[in-house]
Amino acid sequence: MHKVDIAGYKTVEYASCIEELSTAEFMFMMKLLVMQQAGEITIEYFRFMLTMKLLNIKKTVKYYNMPEDKRELVHDNINRLVETIDSFYEYEEENGKLVKKLNLKWIKQMVPRIGRLVGPQDALTNCTFYEYKEAYGRYMQYVDTQDAELIDELIAILYRPRILAYGLRSRLARTLVDERESFTPRSNPKKLAERIKMVKDQPMHVKTAVFTWFTNCVEYLRTGCPVIDGKEINLALLFTQAKEGDKEQAGIGLTGVIYSLAESGVFGNVTETGNTNLYDILVRLYQVKTDFDAMKAKTPKSHDEN
């Protein structure tokens, strides 16, 4: 968090990165971002308005009644504060040069609800494997086709109504209960269609926020090291043999994974495997991969391979 001392009598704290924003601040930022990307506002105006929002600075009657020289002093102070927004940026290499870009790589759930629809938890930790597979399928189709309706479908898969008597169920359950209605191969397709209609009417900045977040989660699963049961798991191992440009391999063959694990019976049949938590599946795949690599390392190479 940033801390700013104002006039020696008040210290104000405000966010220094996306994951420190409140939901209202985040949505305001995304709205500005969509406008800036559409060419409706400049980057300078984006930074200025975000600063005003984070510091809750408003133009009052007192401001308009100020003498011109005092207004200029206010402007200078605000411009210095705008410079602190640099903490939201990072440098990336582009065509051999370092370019400053807004850091949009958050995995924290910043849009917990869309109307009466409830979204997944941080980094998709409460998603089932089937749910992720279906959302990932829409994600990859959108990457190929740029069909905006696929984003609506993706969001409608992830965001669902709260289950009835959630509070009571969560108290009675021995394990954490997902707040959302279940989504399985047996779910009524009419419910999904209804949610798609609800999502379709949402503003562009809301859809952009969720899609960007899901993209970040996909990348996190490919390259991240989540801590599970106190142990850091390097999920990148699951993707090391994926061929560049091979999207099915990059997705670890999600449908195939369900059938392969169902054959092993570790999580039950195909339906039960699909309804298993995404991270439980990934941990099992991680175990299989590390065991296989360890066994391969101990196996003597044949003369043909030498």
Sign of CA dihedral 69, 72, 76, 81: positive
Mean pLDDT throughout 202-218?
96
Specify the DSSP element, H or E, that contains 100.
strand 97-102
| Interval 155-188: pLDDT, tens | 999 999 998 765 555 555 555 667 899 999 889 9
Residue 303 has pLDDT above 60, yes or no: no
Mean pLDDT throughout 247-257?
49
DSSP 111: -
Contact (Cβ atoms closer than 8 angstroms) between residue 152 and residue 207: yes
Predicted TM-score (pTM) above 0.85: no
Mean pLDDT throughout 3-29?
87
- Order the strands of the 113-114 sheet from edge to edge: 113-114, 117-118, 160-161
Q: How far is CA 52 from CA 32, 36, 47, 68, in A?
A: 12, 16, 9, 20
Closest CA to 217 of 118, 123, 112: 123
| Interval 49-58: pLDDT, tens | 999 999 888 8
